[in-house]
Amino acid sequence: MEEHEFEEEKKREIPRVLDNVEEEKSKSKKKNSGNGIGLVLFVSILLSFICGMLGAYLMSKTVSVEQVVKNITTSELVENSISSSVDKVYGSTVVITAYSGGKQISTGTGFIYKINNKTAYIMTNNHVIDGADEAKVEFNDNDKKIDAKIVGGDKYADIAVLTIPDEEYKVVEIGDNETLKLGDTIFTIGTPMGASYKGTVTKGILSGKDRMVEVNVSGNAADYYMKVIQIDAAVNPGNSGGPLCDVSGNVIGVISLKIVEDTVEGMGFAIPIEDALKYASLIEEGGQISRPYIGITMSDLSEEYYLWQNRITIPDGVEEGIAIISVEKGSPAEKAGLKKGDIIVKLGDAETGSLAEFRYELYKYEVGEKVEVEFYRNNKIQKTIITLGKNQS
């Protein structure tokens, strides 16, 4: 081939090579374009997945935050609702001032639990008005004193009833102790340390239910048991007779007594409202509660010197019981054959290890009921049946 012809052939080849190069570039571009679309799709799917997971995570966190807010709100509601609950009973709570011969002898608290025939009934403790011949009440929102009639009271129940003319006063709402649980929020309204501190509100928790507390009613030794509610809310002299309320402002008890010792703190007690209402109803009917009696003078076996003075001998092995010091003539005890020196250890089905236990069990019965008494005489156990009489005191 001549050089001229060779040059011509090379010129013809160059366009073909260029065409091939362009074709390869086009194929490569299409391939890269396809790979790019796939990559975009992959990244898109990945981002969607990540966004979905992140969204779910954030939603779960949002629910948790809402739940926390809800819990806080509920907690705050309980705390804040106490003020509105206090309002429910505050206007029905009164200061009670008791007088004897024109002189003030005590102050306490009470509350309106009933209105009937244009008369408002006020409940308080018996020891608030014990020995009084006159009483006045004063509401929390004014200083006006209103003359009150003392209907009556009972020293063992420690419940008393007073009345005043109704002037459209508000009656407290009654709660239910059966629904309460230990740790539930409670509050009380009272008059600690006198009328200067009337309307004082204290708050705490329910510390105990159905506590049996010994009470000193008539002497140095405990002579009765009371079933009470235990609380840790602050109660002081003057709180006696005030309402104990649940967190909704319903009255669940009547503040009655407080253990006051150097080593004891934060223990207050209240009579369950169910018992208090029962006692109040009996007082309304007759001014006092008719208690059964058997007609004996009694002593705990722990009063060794007193027993020795009265020549009472305790049988060997007997550590608990009630010693009969004397028997009234014509009494149910005398008719049943009981004598001085007998040691009562059981009344009905209940053992009576102390004077307080004996009286608590005795007062569960009604006047006229027959009850079996188990006792020691001359170191031998004996039994008799007593028909309970009516206590005239």
Choosing from 158, 223, 246, 300, which is the catalytic residue? 158
Asked if residues 172 and 89 have their Cβ atoms less than 8 Å apart, the reply is yes
**Which two structure tokens, joined as six digits, stand for 211?**
């506590």
Asked if residues 306 and 299 have their Cβ atoms less than 8 Å apart, the reply is yes
Active site residue 4: no
- CB atoms closer than 10 angstroms to residue 56: 10
- Cα(269)–Cα(221) distance, rounded to whole angstroms? 19
HEC-encoded secondary structure of the chain? CCHHHHHHHHHHHHHHHHHHHHHHHHHHHHHHHHHHHHHHHHHHHHHHHHHHHHHHHHHHHHHHHHHHHHHHHHHHHHHHHHHHHHHHHHCCEEEEEEEECCEEEEEEEEEEEEEECCEEEEEECHHHHCCCCEEEEEECCCCCEEEEEEEEEECCCCEEEEEEECCCCCCCCECCHHHCCCCCEEEEEECCCCHHHCCEEEEEEEEEEEEEEEECCCCCCCCEEEEEEEECCCCCCCCCCCEEEECCCCEEEEEEEECCECCECCCEEEEEHHHHHHHHHHHHHHCCCCCEECCEEEEECCCHHHHHHCCCCCCCCCCCCEEEEEECCCCHHHHCCCCCCCEEEEECCEECCCHHHHHHHHCCCCCCCEEEEEEEECCEEEEEEEECEECCC
Choosing from 92, 106, 127, 256, which is the catalytic residue? 127
Choosing from 240, 246, 342, 354, which is the catalytic residue? 240
**Which two structure tokens, joined as six digits, stand for 171?**
């009656």
| Residue numbers annotated as active site | 127, 158, 240
